[in-house]
């Protein structure tokens, strides 16, 4: 915990504010125009071949897959999207003085664009707003890489060492950053209220954070259109649209 989460004293007494953790999945960003992956209209259901583009082994071995990946990145709505009412409600709660930590499975950066301090957002699956070299691991801007693609480089290489560039996201076949995952587990253990929002809770180890939070006494609230494996241990399950439900729920806390 940081000093911002510590108990504060008022007139000699102690006022303790509970830590609120929010695990967000693709469903929180659909109102921003970013389709989810596993929902009824999800990308994986509409185009099963798309998984190859985000599978590390295939991406590294097949130049045509990489070219397709760069075309998809240029066309992706993620970098053009803006935060919606749900992202803004999370940032508003944090500004009210309530200790808030976001653990997100998303790579769109919309929590930060809405006003959440970057240090309070744990991006389990990385970020689509940067690229990383698979050889020297230097990072740079995705926008700059896409400018090179627009100028005619169908598979731009690292400008430092010539290695293969990829989105700074965790692809299938890659491990999550152990530091980020460790911090997420710590947040789940410390949270007194834990929201799981817009996530099917089927992808591990992200989904296991819900169980960790519940085992450590957090009040679990699930906001998702479809049932999840953890509905049975939740104190509250909300099926309403996230854009209206989450602002209401978080407004009550603030």
**Cα separation, 25 vs 2, whole angstroms:** 25
**Cα separation, 120 vs 184, whole angstroms:** 11
**Cα separation, 124 vs 248, whole angstroms:** 26
DSSP 3: G
Which single residue is written with the structure tokens 């500004």? 95
Catalytic residue among 87, 125, 137, 216: 125
Q: How many CA atoms lie within 13 A of 150 on its CB side?
A: 9
**Cα separation, 69 vs 154, whole angstroms:** 10
3-class SS of residue 18: coil
3-class SS of residue 152: coil
231: how many CB neighbours lie within 10 A of its CB? Answer: 14
The DSSP line for 128-148 is EEEEEETTT--EEEHHHHHHH
87 is catalytic: no
* CA angle centred on 245, ends 221 and 39, rounded to 5°: 80
**Cα separation, 190 vs 192, whole angstroms:** 7
- Which strands, in side-by-side order, build the sheet including 126-133? 139-141, 126-133, 165-169
- Residue numbers annotated as active site: 125
């Amino acid at each position: 915990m940081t000093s911002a989460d510590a108990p504060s004293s008022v007139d000699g007494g102690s006022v303790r504010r509970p830590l609120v953790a929010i695990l967000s999945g693709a469903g929180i960003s659909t109102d921003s125009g970013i389709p989810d992956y596993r929902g009824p209209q999800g990308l994986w259901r509409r185009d099963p071949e798309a998984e190859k583009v985000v599978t590390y082994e295939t991406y590294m071995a097949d130049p045509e897959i990489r070219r397709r990946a760069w075309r998809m990145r240029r066309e992706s709505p993620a970098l053009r999207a803006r935060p919606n009412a749900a992202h803004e409600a999370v940032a508003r709660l944090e500004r009210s003085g309530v200790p808030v930590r976001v653990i997100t499975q998303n790579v769109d950066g919309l929590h930060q664009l809405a006003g959440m301090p970057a240090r309070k957002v744990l991006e389990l699956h990385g970020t689509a707003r940067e690229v990383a070299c698979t050889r020297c691991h230097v990072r740079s801007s995705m926008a700059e890489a896409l400018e090179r693609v627009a100028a005619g480089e169908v598979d731009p290489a690292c400008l430092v060492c010539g290695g293969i560039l990829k989105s700074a996201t965790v692809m299938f076949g890659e491990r999550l950053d152990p530091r980020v995952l460790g911090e997420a587990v710590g947040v789940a253990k410390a949270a007194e209220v834990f929201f799981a929002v817009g996530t099917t809770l089927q992808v591990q180890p992200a989904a296991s954070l819900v169980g960790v939070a519940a085992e450590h006494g957090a009040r679990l609230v699930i906001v998702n259109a479809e049932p999840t494996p953890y509905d049975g241990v939740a104190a509250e399950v909300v099926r309403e649209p996230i854009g209206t439900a989450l602002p209401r729920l978080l407004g009550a806390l603030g």
